[in-house]
Amino acid sequence: MPARRVVCPGSFDPVTNGHLDIITRAALIHDEVIVAVFPNLSKHALFTLDERVGLLREVTGKIANVRVQKFDGLIVDFCRSHDVSAIVKGLRAVSDFDYEMQMAQMNYNQAGVETLFMTTNPLYAFLSSSLVKEFAKYHGDVSGLVPVPVLDALAKRMAQG
């Protein structure tokens, strides 16, 4: 039987506990999970692509069947070149659904790539990287919402101004 290798794509600027929850659960039910870090052209990035990859490697390091890499291109091309059978996405709320559905159907239409949706842990249903960045910028408390290495990286970045 071929390995069930899936991809968890995102911009992860930065990775949150909500992302980590989805990655961990995806790894429990698949042979291998590749976390693919994409530049997001429409959002202002706080961390470089390499910094985001580094943080993800640090926080997923103990999960044996997870690897992290960056990619600049279409997710369907990543899937083709890495022999990935499906994209795994977390769905937080109904508000996520329309856009996620559109992307999933586009990716299936273009390359026959399936998308599997996992429901977000309700503990993190409200959580997004954008809100983490906004709260961190104005010295809000985001501990408990991001892994400790991300908390440290946020503190350092904010101190740099």
Binding interface with ligand PNS (CB under 6 A)? 9-11, 38, 40, 74-75, 103, 106-107
Q: Where does 13-159 show beta strands of DSSP type E?
A: 32-37, 66-70, 86-91, 114-119
Running DSSP on this structure, what letter comes out for residue 123?
Answer: G
Is 30 noted as a catalytic residue in this protein?
no
Is 137 noted as a catalytic residue in this protein?
no
> Residue number with the shortest CB distance to ligand PNS?
10
Which of 52, 89, 129, 133 is catalytic? The answer is 129
Among 76, 70, 88, 117, smallest CA distance to 5 is for: 88
**Omega before 14 cis (within 30°)?**
yes
CB of 17 to ligand PNS, least distance (A): 14
CB of 3 to ligand PNS, least distance (A): 22
For residue 135, count CB atoms less than 10 angstroms from its CB and return exposed for 0-12, middle for 13-18, buried for 19 or more.
middle
Is 25 noted as a catalytic residue in this protein?
no
Nearest residue (CB) to ligand PNS, 3 versus 110: 110
Is 19 noted as a catalytic residue in this protein?
yes
Catalytic residues, which ones? Answer: 19, 43, 92, 129
